[in-house]
Amino acid sequence: MNKVVANAGEAIKGIRDNMTLMVGGFGLCGIPENCIAALVKSGVKGITCISNNAGVDDFGLGLLLQTRQIRKMISSYVGENAEFERQMLSGELEVELIPQGTLATRCLASGYGMPAIFTPAGVGTEIANGKEVRNFNGKDYLMEYAFEADFAMVKAWKGDPAGNLIYRDTARNFNPLMAMAGKITVAEVEELVKPGELDPNQVHTPGIFVHRIFRGEKYEKRIEQRTVRKHS
């Protein structure tokens, strides 16, 4: 039951060119910083990345865009990354934009072992082009397939050697859904505690979904958009 590995480099072993990866986080909140850095160092390329967005130019997934290691982004929001915009408009980067709720639910469906979902989001728009539409009780729904990811990389606040995870506040975001959905799930944590130290009632991701876990280092926790008000 001990799933602990030494570091991020050990955790991402097996990730090869042209694989599909899920990456937890929302903007720069709750992102697996150490795993992303290890991927940059590894030089793996042709990645299809499923993530809410692509970070910023010099941080988060933006680092993998700078090195041209991402071939395709499947995201719901991409508005904070100038390099992402440049690559998309130039045709260097393939992009699939998905409504945020649909993105989350397709992750959930994968974790639940469901092959597809039906959603009203996107019906009658470009998103529906080429996809099956069914009518339930007089309302049209778009069929979307569950994601298939070779690896999921998530970040948690606390974890134990069995892979049980607790997230903190808004850093929880997409991480629990993606942790369920990867064929191999890698978790990096700020605190790695001994077995039995986590309150079972507070565990967000049971260890059964996690295959490798390690304690991360040097978290920057950068604020994506700092908004302040003048002192009165």
Q: Are strands 139-145 and 133-136 parallel, antiparallel or unpaired?
A: antiparallel
Q: Do 55 and 28 contact (CB within 8 A), yes or no?
A: yes
pLDDT at 1: 79
Q: Sign of torsion, CA 10 47 156 37?
A: positive
Reading the chain (232 residues) residue by residue, the pLDDT tens digits are 799 999 999 999 999 999 999 999 998 999 999 999 999 999 999 999 999 998 888 899 999 999 999 999 999 988 778 999 999 999 999 999 999 999 999 999 999 999 999 999 999 999 899 999 999 999 999 999 999 999 999 999 999 999 999 999 999 999 999 999 999 999 999 999 999 999 999 999 999 999 999 999 888 777 777 788 887 6
pTM: predicted TM-score of the whole model, two decimal places: 0.92
Closest CA to 38 of 15, 54, 17, 20: 15
pLDDT at 66: 95
Gap between the Cα atoms of 83 and 154, Å rounded: 24
Q: Do 32 and 186 contact (CB within 8 A), yes or no?
A: yes
Q: Would you say domain 17-97+148-215 falls under CATH 3.30.2000.10?
A: no
Write phi, then psi, for 18 (nearest 5 degrees).
70, 20
pLDDT at 58: 87
Q: Do 118 and 141 contact (CB within 8 A), yes or no?
A: yes
Q: What is the DSSP string of 100-133?
A: HHHHHHHHHHHHHT-SEEEESTTTTSGGGTTS-E
Q: Do 188 and 179 contact (CB within 8 A), yes or no?
A: no
- How far is CA 166 from each of CA 25, 158, 184, 192, 199, rounded to the nearest angstrom? 14, 5, 19, 11, 9
Q: How far is CA 110 from the centre of its chain?
A: 13
pLDDT at 48: 98
Closest CA to 142 of 180, 106, 178: 106
pLDDT at 69: 97
The SS3 assignment for 110 reads helix
Return the structure tokens found at 85: 């915009």
Provide the terminal-to-terminal Cα distance of the chain, rounded to the nearest Å. Answer: 56
The SS3 assignment for 95 reads strand
Q: Do 25 and 75 contact (CB within 8 A), yes or no?
A: no
Return the structure tokens found at 20: 């599909």
pLDDT at 188: 98
